Amino acid sequence: MYGHAGNILRVNLTDGTHSITPLPEDLAREYLGGRGFVAKLLWDEVSSGVDPLGPDNKIVAAPGPLTGVFLPGSGKLHFGAKSPATGGYGDSNVGGHISPEIKFAGYDAIIIEGKADKPVYLFIENDTIEVRDAEKYWGKGAIESETMLKHDLGEEFQIATIGPAGENMVYFACISHDFGRQAGRTGVGAVMGSKNLKAIAVRGTKSIPLANPDAVLEVGKAMFEGCFSKPGFEEWTPQGTAGVTDWVNEVGAFPTHNFMTSYFPKHSQINGEQIVNKLKITDKGCYSCPIPCGKYGRAKTPKYDVYVEGPEYETVALIGGNTEMETIEDVAYANYVCDELGLDSISGGNVVGFAMECYENGVITKEQLDGQELRFGSVHDFVWLCNQIATRQGIGDALANGVRYASEKWGKGTERYAIQVKGLEWSGYEGRYAPAMMLSYMTCDVGAHHNRSWAITYDVQAGREQLEGKAAKVIELQHVRPMFDLLCLCRLQWVELGFELDWYPKVFQAVTGEEYTWDDLMKVSERVWNLTRSFWVREIPGFGRSMDYPPARFSEEPIPTGPAEGKYIPMEGLDQLLDDYYRLRGWDLNGIPSTDKLEQLNLGFAEKVVAERRSKGVAN
Amino acid sequence: MRLQAISSNCSGCKVCQMLCSLVHFKENNPKKAALKIAGRFPAPGDYELTVCTQCGVCVDVCPTGAIQEKDGAYVLNREECIGCQACVEACPENAFVVHADETAPIKCDACGECIKYCPRGALVDADGVLQRVAK
Amino acid sequence: MPISVLVRGHTASYFPEGKDELEVVWSGPITVRQLLADLGVDSLLVMRVNVNGMKVTKEHILADGDEVLFFSPPAGG
């Protein structure tokens, strides 16, 4: 199939060997690329029950068939591995420029297996593949080591690194790229660290095979023109995603004080306008993006002076609101610290917020912290704790395994406010007064992440008290939004500009020569969703409905302040949402895909494993 | 038309480079484009564009006369180029691009396509004739 | 009086026929908030409003020939 580079690169870090094999045609047709390749290759290649941080886990990095091509937003890369944070399916996406570079080097997927006996990095320059010594980079910050590698190899190399948090296998360690973009979630950086893999450096000079170059030029031009002509094209970029901060407060969905409430009175001190006025140097975009969301800037006060990309909205929410930072400079500084340590700023802000609430409640005491405090609003305390976590010292060791682990270890009712699903910390939208958004988090296939289904405007329009109809919308979004991850494109042109979805089958045909209707693309997306669900069923003993609930705070504690005051969704409501969702998905009442559904989606190969678990689960 | 770069507007997207390679080579390959983008991170935190200013210095050093003026631009005839790289070294802007698969270096012919599709107004027509496209 | 309505972003799908460009005809003075109600769109869905390029509140009274631009909230992160 055109569009693909045509090869899979497999690297074994245990013995330092590699192989380059042709991309299987059926994999390309049935799974398209990116997230589809990640899901299928993990299912096929990672044996059931392996330790996520052991040598038998694998990392898959995959661009998609349209990645790198002349069309808006073609710069995304999908990473995946069995997640150390959750024990289930894990993936995470990053923009920047490395994904096209992998295609230009000639690869549609990189599979990394085994474990090096000392720190190494993976060097890829077209057909030259080397596992190189990384002793001099080990221990360095994620961005610091990227800077060093760029200096050593050249500006044209695109580099993904981990920081000390990844090296120390913190469960929410990220993979960092392009000076401040991250594949942040599910602990993919910890898996790199577990393999002693500090970095991946890529340079490629090849062209991407196109079915019809003239058609690609024509459709690509029309797509960019379409973006330029959209209402508000010029106005979206200045603030980027942080432009939504005030609005999320206005609707009462802003994580505040470890999700105790959903409104931060000082939100206008940490919003997009503050970023523009106090931090921004330049708009920093990914490859082929007409609306660059990255805000590269400098946070300078008497206490610190740092360059940092961001904060984007999620960081504003989880560091800003959730730990109650009162200035945008403090948010940016905490963001910088997370970036260098290689900590996901979503889980990072969530975990620190959790620890601060534990401290407030006396679960953690000053004595345990050698006199240090953990106060909401203190960037000093935030940074201190991040360093403890990244180096696994003191209480940082338990927190490095995420809030689920720490709350189980510490007890004392902390499980109630460990804000996670399936072991992954909740991201930037509170769900107690947004049932579709709540259900999105409950059923997201990597744990509590927003990006598979961002449904909060649907809640507002359809009625925020209402539960009926929400499951159908969530399922629709869970197929549309991850479609972009299959093709490894950015979805922001669609979401933020309203760029029409019917462009994608058109450009898909121009690039690949294959005709996929929109419904065909949605079918692939549904196939992958059911495969990742099956992966959970396979890997987690007793997996089912019980893993789809939010923490008790969300079903028992009314929101205490702000526009959503008094709201929450009691268990009966959550059950109604799940019942609807499972029924519409063709899953049983325990949330396990049915035989019919698997067969309908050409996932018959998963049926045997799933059937075993199905019989042991709750009766349908 | 005179191509002018305003580096402070650049967000590093490489739309210009993809378009350049598609227009001139019918290939999708930013490394076969006649202009350069360099990110300068972490500090000072910006992008630097390098473009051909059509100064014509290359014309005089070319031993085969492969670079000729055409409608105000100096155009490299790739058939006549022997790959000696004299122009690459002589260019005061360092604007020639060398690609391992090509004998001839890659030179801007001032076609102006990149101006029409730069999302950021980082590439403009110094004469103000060409603009970004819109529906 | 005719008012032209533009919508930036994904909430266009909640406007009549899912369109991001509309012509609305109205007789007499109307606020932005009333216009949204008339179009069947919850005013909370609109994060920001520009009229003829200037930022206004939802209580702003619209005039003949105004161009109204509604901004969807960014689905951030």
Q: What is the DSSP string of A268-327?
A: GGSSHHHHHHHTEEEEE--TT-SS--EEEEEEEETTEEEEEE---HHHIIIIIITTT--S
Distance separating alpha carbons of residues B49 and B35, to the nearest angstrom: 7
CB-based contacts of A528, cutoff 8 Å, min separation 6: A31, A35, A36, A39, A40, A482, A486
Chain B closest CA to A269's CA: distance in Å?
24
**Strands of the C67-71 sheet, one edge to the other:** C21-25, C2-8, C67-71, C48-51, C54-56
Q: What is the pLDDT of residue A616?
A: 58
Q: Which residues in C lie closer than 8 A to residue A314 (C-beta atoms)?
A: 76-77
Distance separating alpha carbons of residues A199 and A137, to the nearest angstrom: 9
N-to-C CA span, chain A: 42
Pairing of strands B36-40, A109-113: unpaired
Residue C72 per-residue DSSP state? P
Pairing of strands A197-203, A120-125: parallel
Interface check A216 vs B, CB under 8 A: yes
C-facing residues of A in 207-236 (CB < 8 A) are 230-233, 235-236
Q: With 0.95 as the threshold, say if the pTM is over it.
A: yes
As given in the structure block, the two tokens for residue A541 are 């003993």
**Angle, helix B15-25 to helix A213-228, in steps of 10 degrees:** 150
Q: What is the pLDDT of residue A619?
A: 42
> Which of A268, A492, A496 best probes binding to C when mutated, by most C CB atoms within 10 angstroms?
A496
CB-based contacts of A420, cutoff 8 Å, min separation 6: A350, A402, A403, A404, A426, A447, A448, A551
A/C Cβ contact: 3+ pairs below 8 Å: yes
Distance separating alpha carbons of residues A245 and A233, to the nearest angstrom: 19
Confidence of residue C26 (pLDDT cuts 50, 70, 90): confident
Q: Which residues in B lie closer than 8 A to residue A178 (C-beta atoms)?
A: 39, 41
Q: Could you read off the pLDDT of B54-110 as tens digits, one per residue?
A: 999 999 999 999 999 999 999 999 999 999 999 999 999 999 999 999 999 999 999
Distance separating alpha carbons of residues A25 and A297, to the nearest angstrom: 44
Minimum CA–CA partner of B120 in chain A? A290
Nearest CB among B13, B26, B117 relative to A221 is that of B117
Nearest CB among A232, A240, A314 relative to C71 is that of A232
Q: What is the pLDDT of residue A620?
A: 40
Q: What is the pLDDT of residue C77?
A: 56
As given in the structure block, the two tokens for residue A467 are 């539960």
For residue A133, how far is the Cα from the chain centroid? 29
Nearest CB among C14, C71, C76 relative to A461 is that of C14
Q: Could you read off the pLDDT of B14-43 as tens digits, one per residue?
A: 999 999 999 999 999 999 999 999 999 999
Residue A445 per-residue DSSP state? B
For residue A390, how far is the Cα from the chain centroid? 19
Q: Which residues in C lie closer than 8 A to residue A317 (C-beta atoms)?
A: 77
Minimum CA–CA partner of A158 in chain B? B39
Question: Has residue C76 got a pLDDT over 90?
Answer: no
CA dihedral sign, ordered A124, A125, A128, A134: negative
As given in the structure block, the two tokens for residue A45 are 């290649």
The CA R_g of chain C, rounded to the nearest whole Å, is 12
Q: Enter the ipTM.
A: 0.97
Interface check A14 vs B, CB under 8 A: no
The residue ranges of chain A whose pLDDT is under 70 are 615-620
Q: Is A425 helix (H, G, I), strand (E, B) or coil?
A: strand
Q: Are the beta carbons of C71 and A451 separated by less than 8 Å?
A: no
The CA-CA-CA angle for residues A115, A116, A121, to 5°, reads 115
Question: Has residue C28 got a pLDDT over 90?
Answer: no
Q: What is the pLDDT of residue A614?
A: 81
